[in-house]
Amino acid sequence: MSGPVPSRARVYTEVNTHRPREYWDYENQDDFQLVRKLGRGKYSEVFEAINITNNEKVVVKILKQLYQTLTDYDIRFYMYEILKALDYCHSMGIMHRDVKPHNVMIDHEHRKLRLIDWGLAEFYHPGQEYNVRVASRYFKGPELLVDYQMYDYSLDMWSLGCMLASMIFRKEPFFHGHDNYDQVNTKQGWLVELSLAPLLHSRKRWERFVHSENQHLVSPEALDFLDKLLRYDHQARLTAREAMDHPYFFPIVKDQSRVAGANLPSGNTAVGTANMITGISALPASTALGPFTGSPVLSASTNVLSTPVAAAVGAPQ
């Protein structure tokens, strides 16, 4: 089988060919050799380094992944907010099909969250076959990787499980394949374990990812919740509504119920359907985050949950 037909842009074809590498290779830090750590802050770490291209001493500031700044409570809180969005869109008959950190916008200061980028979303009809070329590689459910087309809302729950695993184990991405074939191999051992559950169910497969840097994020209820999301059989995964009732979220539900009881009229809840509908229909996609009155589904914000590690920033010492 022949390869793809070569193609070149008709305009600005050689722009980056004639630019220096530092113009376009913004993630490359190969020119800097770290010497020693000088300090750390809430969002970054500072190192003494050498620019190996000219032996100049520099100070390098490397931003942490936002994941690394989140507490156990933060993770539970934001996961619960994502579930509100998923439960709402699923109740409207819509699969998101691209749940991943880059599509979660948060305002950490004001505790606001929005699930964005609905370009791959699709209406669900029972028995219908769907395109498997959706979702991002590291967050694809096993059904997509084996070309099973009759998937449903549970696809979003697998993707959410991948996010949770990377957050509590501080391993991003959690499933890391170089291509779809490699991604299947990455999950192969897991699929065997998951497909045999509950007969051979064991927590040991999760505990091997626990270490001194993440153990404060890994609780028994977190592992149980994760286990119920990352199920090979998509029918066995928790739904978004079932997930919201999991003990992992008891502290969040308790706090939100207390706030709701103090601020809402009797008979309403913090996750009321009417509020969710208002939260979607009243906000155009370009509206910046305002007061959180509905489901965290649409609108823009200033921070992506997976804020990348910045390239080295050098300053002469």
For 32-41, what is each residue's pLDDT tens digit? 888 998 988 7
Q: Residue 168: what pLDDT?
A: 93
Active-site pick, 31, 87, 98, 152:
98
CA 33/CA 208 separation, integer angstroms? 32
Tell me, yes or no, if 98 is annotated catalytic: yes
- What six digits make up the tokens of 171? 């391993």
Question: Among residues 93, 104, 121, 108, which one has the least CA distance to residue 299?
Answer: 104
Mean pLDDT value of segment 190-210: 56
**Residue ranges in the chain assigned as alpha helix (H):** 21-24, 72-91, 142-145, 154-168, 180-196, 204-207, 220-229, 240-244, 250-263, 273-281
Q: Residue 23: what pLDDT?
A: 83
User: pLDDT confidence of 277, banded at 50, 70, 90?
Assistant: very low
pLDDT tens digits along 54-98: 999 999 887 766 666 789 999 999 999 999 999 999 999 999 999
Q: Which residue has the higher pLDDT, 87 or 8?
A: 87
Would you say 144 and 132 are in contact if contact means Cβ atoms under 8 Å apart? yes
The answer to the question of whether 187 is labelled as a binding residue is no
Q: Residue 265: what pLDDT?
A: 60
Q: Residue 65: what pLDDT?
A: 65
Q: Residue 271: what pLDDT?
A: 43
Residue 9 has pLDDT above 70, yes or no: yes
Enumerate the β-bridge partners of residue 104.
115
Domain boundaries along the sequence of the chain: 59-194+203-261
**Residue owning tokens 């509206």:** 287
Mean pLDDT value of segment 240-261: 93
3-state SS, residue 144: helix
User: pLDDT confidence of 219, banded at 50, 70, 90?
Assistant: very high
> Which residues, 6+ apart, have CB-to-CB distance to 210 below 8 Å?
169, 218
Residue 311 has pLDDT above 60, yes or no: no
Question: Among residues 309, 283, 300, 298, which one has the least CA distance to residue 121?
Answer: 298
User: pLDDT confidence of 45, banded at 50, 70, 90?
Assistant: confident
Mean pLDDT value of segment 111-134: 94
Residue 275 has pLDDT above 50, yes or no: no
Asked which of 57-61, 164-168, 262-266, 306-310 is least confident by mean pLDDT, the reply is: 306-310
Q: Residue 198: what pLDDT?
A: 44
Average pLDDT, the chain: 77
| Residue 129: exposure state from Cβ atoms within 10 A (0-12, 13-18, ≥19) | exposed
Q: Residue 274: what pLDDT?
A: 31
Question: Among residues 156, 183, 161, which one has the least CA distance to residue 230?
Answer: 161
Q: Which residue has the higher pLDDT, 312 or 148?
A: 148
Going across the sheet that includes 44-51, the strands are 32-40, 44-51, 56-63
pLDDT tens digits along 183-198: 454 444 555 444 444 4
Architecture of domain 59-194+203-261: Orthogonal Bundle (1.10)
CA 246/CA 151 separation, integer angstroms? 24
